Every structure is written in structure tokens, then in C-alpha cells.
Chain A
């Protein structure tokens, strides 16, 4: 074992890369759940985003276009979920599972000709002389634009939920859809829009994995990140900034695990690789007591006549 092989600055900078897919997927799901919808299809939307983004980035040579395509791909897939749960009044748990199963298959089908292809590289942001500051520069100011976009998105969601009328309506729909309906709010329309937002975010998160974190395309490459994002929303008690904290904590643990693998610690690789999932379970256990934070209508079907 050689721990000195781990460069502390690169290590901490890696937190951001590891956390970004989680931040996108989880902040989208947070908004969806705040409107009272439980979409378990995050994993499916992420993997569709991963392949859509990858394919478009490879074909056009522009990673940014790829991220755009990923957002569209995720949102289109989430429309299927919206149709099932909002129009056909299907069970949300089952519909979400269907979305994940379908997404995993469909992405494998789309991605057949992209296995082994290298995507175009995303340029890092240029902060000029600021990036030269020791420690702070390489840790905080050496990333691509998507990392900062993720941070901005969390702040935006927080502000919108807390300070705007739209956020208030959104929360009202999630807390009590019957009351919101009685006040004249279009429950289904608001939920459908939220679901699409969640899909777009999950898509971008997935594309971040295939275009930047890995970067290549393999079948099922999201490997449970979508499910971890779902756990993260519970961890954050549906609050944006706690979500950010959780994502970095988690990103840090993943990074640590990868670095330990690289440094050749005397623990078999498989046991290190299972650690993120075990940690997620442990965290869930500790945080499950504060159930009261969940939106009141979470997971319940809304039908105007009932």
C-alpha cells in the first residue's frame, strides 16, 4: 500500500467530478418529489441521457450539444412516466421501475455502435489568473462548466422553492393535491412539468458520467447512481442545500474508494467497490427517523373526482 501516491489536491478536486452526476439527478428528483410525485425511473433517465449525450457529442464533436441532447432525451423519456402516472393514473412505483427497465434496454440498443468510441473532450473553464492561486485554484477553479452549472442549479432551485410564487404553488401541490386543486391550480400540468424538469436533469447527470467522468460508453454504465440519487433526496430531507452537502460527502467517499483501489490497499477491490452502496444504506438508516419532512402527497395518485 502506498498512500503517498494519492495527491491530496487532485483527490479533493475529484470530489466535484464524482458529485456532479449525483447533484443533477438528485436536484431534479427533489423538485419532482416536492410536487408529490415519486419517480423511481431516475436510473433509466440517466442512462438514456448518458447515451443521447454521448452519441450527439461524438457525432457533432461538441460536448455542450451533447449535454443539450441528454437533457432532451431524459425529458422525453420522463414524458412516458408522466403519461402513465398523470393521464393513465398508474401506480408510481411500478411506472418508475418500468421506466428504469425500459431505459436500460433502450440505451443498450441505441449505444451498440458507440462501444469503444472516444468522446470529444470538454474544455475546462478558464478563470485566468484566479486559477493560479495555490490549492484553491486547482481544487475549485479547474473544472468544466457543467460542475458550476450544477451548483448554480441547486441555488436556483432553492431560491425558486423558497421565495417565488411558482415555488409556493409547487410545494402546495406536493403537500396536498386536493387542496391545491380546490384552489384552482392545475395539479397534473404542474406535476408533468416537474417530471420533465427531473428527466432533463437526470439526463444531464447521466451524460456527465459518459462524457466526462468515465469517459466512454458501456451498457448499464450508470451502475446505480440514479438509485443513490433517490436515496440522496431522502438524506437531504427534500432540502436543496443539504442535498449539495450529501452529494459532496458521497462524491468524496467514492473518490476515496477509487483512490484506495489505485493505491493498492490490502482490501479486495470488490469490497471497496461495494462500499458506496453499503454507505448509502447506513446513511438511510440514520436518516429515516425524520419522515415528517416528506411532502404530504408523495406517491399518491391524483384524480379530480375522487
Chain B
């Protein structure tokens, strides 16, 4: 007879081991999946995890790691604050889109004027766009008690339609010969979020991601607000007694995650993506949820998890072109990772006891 016994304190060892075990288990089961699809599993795993960093063309893929990782880390850091407090913003994808639209909108409005002020203004607008979009579920929750999970998610679909409308209408490039999509911001020096060192992949979004990690670390470890977030997540009643204002916490957590997601969208549209198009968003907002959990909702963990997730994106692309692995297989792979993580997390809070169960 095997019984589960709750640990008096969560195990630190297992808290750190669970993500590693989850990645290993995902490799095994992902390999099985690839084998079923008729691909050599070892080669596929190697292509995904090894090729981008150490392979023959690594010099080309390494900058991609920063480009793909930055939005994931930026969004996941914001989400982790709320998730820790039991405030579930799962609409980061929508906030990401709105940030991109606001940021690009400001940039396009100034076209073709050149000024050093334009890019900072776009950054502010991007942050504002994401923040405003997240304030909708936040205010509705505070004011009416509406479920923030459903509202933030519904707003993703609204934002996607808004994006379609913008790239077909208001923001469509007048020189685009009728094709949907805005002007390319990469060709507009004042609005271009260029690599800080050419070819390194190190754009302002990457800088912002690192700053966000440090900011979140200090907030959670040293600041009173970080304490309020942790207490609210662990014991909401205790938090109320210790003077935490739940409404303010909701506004802060949703607002910050929206702001960071908006920034991520803005840096993406003005840098790697370059223009507002109908399919501009590629699901970073949803993958960031996996990143946040895989990183144990801890800033440093998220940084590592973001890197790993970026790796699967790039490795997945390589596996797609080299081995003909379907794009969806990588999505399944990422989903599996979250499954295993949630499963292994059991041993953080519980331990197994072998032998006869006692009658209580």
C-alpha cells in the first residue's frame, strides 16, 4: 500500500528537481511521439536541444535564442506575480497584441519624421496598450467580481480581431499595393528596435527582459508588495488580517503583467517582426504560461525556462526543415512539458509512504 503524506514544509529539493525531471520525461515521451511519427527520436531530440546552441550553424541560431526568449521571459515574469497570488491572467496574448498595436501606431503616426524621441514614445505607448487591455479584467474583477480568467481570455479573441482590422484598414501601408500589413518599421530608423550590437540578437526587448527579471527578484524577495503577493497566494485569509488590500493587489498584478506583455509586443513589432500583420502574434502569450510554471514562478527560474522554451521553438523550426517534423509536434512537446511539471510537483508538497496505511 502506498500512501501520500503531506510534507510539513514544501521540499526545496523537489521544487528544484521537478522541472528537471519534467524536461527529461518530456524528452522520453516526446521521443516516443517522434518515433510514432516515423522520425528518428534521438536525432530529433538532438536537433531540437543541441543543434541551435552547439550545431554547425549555431552562430546563426544563438541570436535567435535571445530574440525568441525575450518576449517569453518578459511576459512570464509579469504572469508569475499574479499566479503566485492566485490571480490568473491568461490573456497575455491579447495584451501582447494591444501593446504592439499601440507601439506601432505611435511609430506609424510620426512617419516619416525622424527623431530620437519617437522610439521612447513607442515604448511608453506599448506599455500603456498592454496595461489598458489588462485593466479591463482587473477593474471588472475588483468592481463586479467578474472571473478574470474568462474575461482576459475573451479579450484575446477581441484583440485578434482588432489586429486583423488594423492590418487591413487603418494601419495598412499606403505603399503596400493593397496587401494587408503596415509599413515595415525596420526600414524606419527612428522606430526600429534594432540590435544594439549588430547580429547579436540583443535588442531593447532583451534588455527589458533582464531588467524585469531583476526588478521582479527584488520585488519578491525584498519588498513589502512581494510579501503581500506570497501571503495572498498561500493563505488569503491570513493576508486579509495582515492588512493586504486584495483589490489593489489585483490591479497591480494584472496591470504589471499587461504592461510587460504590451512591452514584449511592442519590441517584437518594431524589431524582429517589423510590421503589423494579421498573423503577427504566434502564441508567445500562451507559451509564457508554460514558461512561468516551468520557472517555478521564480524570476531566475523563468529566465532559464524562457531560454529552454526559446530553444524548443528554434530547434523545432530546424527539425521541421531538416527532418520534416510537423510544426504541431513542437506544440505538443511544449504542452507535454507542462503536464509532466504539474505531475512531478506532487512530490514538492507530498511524500510517498510505503507500508500499511494506518487507520486514523
Contact = CB atoms under 8 A, between A and B. Distances in A.
B289 interface: yes
Q: What's the dominant secondary structure at chain A's contact region? A: helix
B150 A234 contact: yes
B219 interface: no
A101 B290 contact: yes
A281 B328 CA distance: 30
Contacts, number: 140
A303 B4 contact: yes
Interface of B is mostly: helix
A106 B150 contact: no
B64 to A, nearest CB: 21
A38 to B, nearest CB: 9
Nearest to B347: A88
A93 B147 CA distance: 12
B12 to A, nearest CB: 19
* Range class of the B interface residue count: 35 or more
Contacts of A268: 165, 169
Interface stretch (A64-72, A117-125, A285-293): A285-293
B147 A288 contact: yes
B164 interface: yes
Contact of B342 (A88, A280, A281, A306): A88
A227 B326 contact: no
A305 to B, nearest CB: 6
Contacts of A108: 326-328, 331
B150 A280 contact: yes
Contact of A112 (B157, B328, B330): B328
Contacts of A231: 147, 150, 154
A278 B154 CA distance: 7
Interface in A129-165: none
Interface in B202-249: none
A224 interface: yes
Which 3 pairs of residues, A with B, have the shortest CB-CB distance? A105-B331, A102-B335, A108-B328
Interface of B: 3-6, 37, 88, 90, 136, 140, 144-147, 149-151, 153-155, 157-158, 161-162, 164-165, 168-169, 286, 289-290, 293, 326-336, 338-339, 342-343, 345-346, 349-350, 360
13 contacts: A98-B290, A102-B338, A108-B327, A109-B326, A112-B326, A219-B328, A270-B161, A271-B161, A274-B157, A277-B155, A277-B157, A278-B158, A288-B146
